[in-house]
Amino acid sequence: MKSFLYLLLMVCPAIAFGQDTNTEAVVRKVADNIVQNTSFKFINSSTKEKYDSTKGLASSADIKADSKYNKWAYVNGVLAIGMVQTADVLKDKKYSEYSQHNFEFIFDNLNYFEALYKAKTTPRVEYGSVFNITNLDACGAMSAGLFDVNALAQRKDYQAYLERSAAYISTKQMRLADGTFARPQPRFGTLWADDMFMSIPFLARMGKLTGDNKYFDDAIKQVENFNKYLYDPATGLFFHNYYSDDQTNGVGHWGRSNGWIAMAQVELLNNLPANHPKRPELIKLLLRQIVGYSRYQDPTGLWHQLLDKPDSYLETSVTAMYTYAVARAVNQGWINEKYIAIAKEGWKGLTTKITVDGQLQDVCIGTNMDTDINFYYTRPTELNDTHGLGALLLAGTEMLKAERKK
């Protein structure tokens, strides 16, 4: 199915932005809602008593971060990246200071939780994955966000964690024989499209910081191999997964997993040297994906939960990811400016899903994978689920930059 938008961008490459999209106001509204709803407190999950810090508290596994934005979770790594870019584009430090405060809140209280973790008296400790990195979800995206924050904060404990995270990804993370990142579940040696973003953005940042090509080489290998295993030439989309045991793909072209791929490729290009010999190839792969997903854009500007299934619901996290990817690619001059029409319609669709107080509607909640396609059809959505927020800020700020060029 080719949407009207795909035809539009072919015949009307100079489509102008709307008279007044209020893009900056929308971005501020979303970012301000996040700031206002982050408590920076701990809560005793049994008594519901709240605390400003863990200092002086008796040791208890019931002590948790009160706000979802203060959790150690990959979605908050994306949010940190988005907040830092929001501060830069809007020239407003309060958003980068928010992300700095967030990591300060976590790291300044880690000793309390590390003692709990080492005591081994409870199976679940808040921030436990900081001390014991066992998968990419636990470290990759949060490390990319922490990296951007530490460019401002310059804390030695942040840098120490980043080095530990990089060492895990480079030497301990499960891989196939050809070096492609994989997981032991749901079947041993499963490739998850999600893992492109859980690794590549951070590897690319480490390559840029250290000048060590091993990080770029690894990131590029992941892009090439994930494209090899997951790309579906029949649709121009990517499967969510690949089972290496029987060399088959999963059942669906799930939206957000495709979004993770697009964002990961963009983040690599953001950091790769301009004269890197692989750069043209990587841009071609990104453009192939952009052209592929443009065919499935709904007339509302949004994309579906299952990209090639118009009877699945319209979903906002993938729309934000796709909008960011194409807008960034156009703004950086990687692809022809005519493709901004895709991002323009995506952003227009997203703005219809943002409430008066700045919350994002119709975000698919955290999602595993299944051999039954109905699993994807029936995943619930949640108002302002964090899976969509970082990408939304990135999309909005890139659209604002595009508008300023006009």
Structure tokens at 36: 């206002």
Closest CA relative to residue 148, chosen from 215, 86, 68: 86
pLDDT digits (tens, 9 = 90+) for 104-157: 999 999 999 999 999 988 889 999 999 999 999 999 999 999 999 999 999 999
H/E stretch holding 13 reads none
Cis ω before 186 (30° cut-off from 0) = yes
State the pLDDT confidence band at 14, using cuts at 50, 70 and 90. Answer: very low
CA distance 229 to 244: 9
- Which sign, positive or negative, has the C-alpha torsion 24, 25, 27, 32? positive
pLDDT digits (tens, 9 = 90+) for 225-239: 999 999 999 999 999
pLDDT at 16: 37
pLDDT at 21: 57
Query: Is the residue at 313 inside a domain?
Result: no
State CA 187 to chain mean position distance.
Answer: 24
H/E stretch holding 122 reads none
- Mean pLDDT of the region 63-90: 99
pLDDT digits (tens, 9 = 90+) for 312-328: 999 999 999 999 999 99
DSSP assigned state of 138:
G
Residue 7 reports pLDDT greater than 70:
no
Query: Position of tokens 């001390």?
Result: 131
Residue 12 reports pLDDT greater than 80:
no
Buried b (16+ CB within 10 A) or exposed e, 274-313: eebebbeebbebbbebbbbbbbbbbeebbbbbbbbbeebb
- Mean pLDDT of the region 375-403: 99
pLDDT digits (tens, 9 = 90+) for 336-348: 999 999 999 999 9
pLDDT at 122: 83
DSSP assigned state of 34:
H
The average confidence (pLDDT) of the chain is 95
Q: Which residues pair with 316 in a beta bridge?
A: none
Query: Is the residue at 160 inside a domain?
Result: yes
Contact of 204 with 267, CB cutoff 8 Å: yes
Residue 387 reports pLDDT greater than 60:
yes
Which pTM was predicted? 0.94
The structural domain count of the chain equals 1
Query: Is the residue at 62 inside a domain?
Result: yes
Residue 351 reports pLDDT greater than 70:
yes
Residue 221 reports pLDDT greater than 90:
yes
Residue range of the domain that includes 166: 39-170
Query: Is the residue at 402 inside a domain?
Result: no
CA distance 253 to 309: 9
Q: Is 143 helix (H, G, I), strand (E, B) or coil?
A: helix
Query: Is the residue at 199 inside a domain?
Result: no
CA distance 197 to 385: 18
CA distance 139 to 307: 28
Contact of 367 with 254, CB cutoff 8 Å: yes
End-to-end CA distance of the chain: 31
Residue 4 reports pLDDT greater than 70:
no
Longest dimension (CA), the chain: 67
Query: Is the residue at 213 inside a domain?
Result: no
pLDDT at 123: 83
DSSP assigned state of 126:
T
pLDDT at 365: 99
Query: Is the residue at 271 inside a domain?
Result: no
Sheet containing strand 63-65, edge to edge, reads 50-51, 42-44, 63-65
pLDDT at 294: 98
pLDDT at 20: 34
Query: Is the residue at 326 inside a domain?
Result: no
Q: Which residues pair with 42 in a beta bridge?
A: 51, 65
Residue 1 reports pLDDT greater than 80:
no
State CA 244 to chain mean position distance.
Answer: 25
State the pLDDT confidence band at 398, using cuts at 50, 70 and 90. Answer: very high
Q: Per-residue DSSP letters for 188-248? A: TTEEEGGGGTTTHHHHHHHHHHH--HHHHHHHHHHHHHHHHHHEETTTTEE-SEEETTTTE
CA distance 102 to 106: 7
